[in-house]
Amino acid sequence: MTRWRLTVEFDGEPFMGWQRQDHGPSVQQAIEEAIVRMTGEEARLHCAGRTDAGVHGLAMSAHVDLDKQLTGFRLCEGLNALLRPAPIAILAAEPVDDDWHARFSCIGRRYLYRILNRRAPPTLLRGKVWHVPQELDVEAMAAGAKYLEGRHDFTTFRSVHCQSRSPDKTLDSLTVVRVGEEVQFRVAARSFLHHQVRSMVGTLSLVGRGQWHPDDVKRVLEAKDRQQLGLNAPPDGLYFVRALYPAD
């Protein structure tokens, strides 16, 4: 048996998220069904971080154990052929040690959130960005973001459906930059709470619009109360960028 590390790109719009769901299609289900068709094996796929409905993946890491003798090239080519026309692509497949785990071996995760900040609505980027037509103050949002970096109780920014045992997380960095017509949030941490990134972006967008002061971010963080959250950003603009591992 070989343990394969897969790097997966996907458009999250038509899916209910990464994880298998009873009420709709998922990225995991699509890949597992392609594996069955290719190898005849009912294999379980494990990922670095489960994503919500509508969230996209640039380079999600996952692993699967297979008995069938394959090369990485053949595994990629076969799965990509069977996944069409679903918006999922296997970018790479490589054998790893039996104790390597996509989730538990991961030492860091990176996310990107994209806001299209212009008056005109998106056409080519529809479903891939959050459209905010009001001009956003990037400097004010960056000032508010500084309050969120470091180790905190992120209860305010945690979904009521979050299954994490503790609301305490360490946010390594949260940068806010303007790139052309977009405002981008680049977020790094070892792990995240359910909806944490979307909740932080939504709250910072209120600062960018001038509805909140940067200090209000500190106030709601310290409140440790989900009811104090300013806004939960939609999933459209959120991307899982990559997972980090010791050997990378």
Which among 111, 103, 105, 87 has a CA at the least distance from the CA of 9?
87
Extract the tokens encoding 206: 């209120």
Longest dimension (CA), the chain: 59
Backbone phi and psi for residue 234, each to the nearest 5 degrees, phi listed first: -70, 160
65 classed as catalytic: no
Q: Round to whole Å and give the CA distance between 12 and 51.
A: 9
Q: Note whether 57 and 9 are within 8 A (CB).
A: yes
Dist CA 222 CA 210 (whole Å): 21
E strand intervals along the chain: 2-10, 46-47, 56-66, 88-96, 108-116, 130-131, 150-153, 168-179, 182-189, 238-244
Per-residue burial over 137-172, b if 16 or more Cβ lie within 10 Å, else e, is bbebbbbbbebbbeebebbbbbbeebeeeebebebe
- Catalytic pick among 52, 137, 153, 216: 52
Q: CB–CB of 141/230 below 8 Å?
A: no
The tokens of 118 are what? 């212009």
Catalytic positions, please?
A: 52
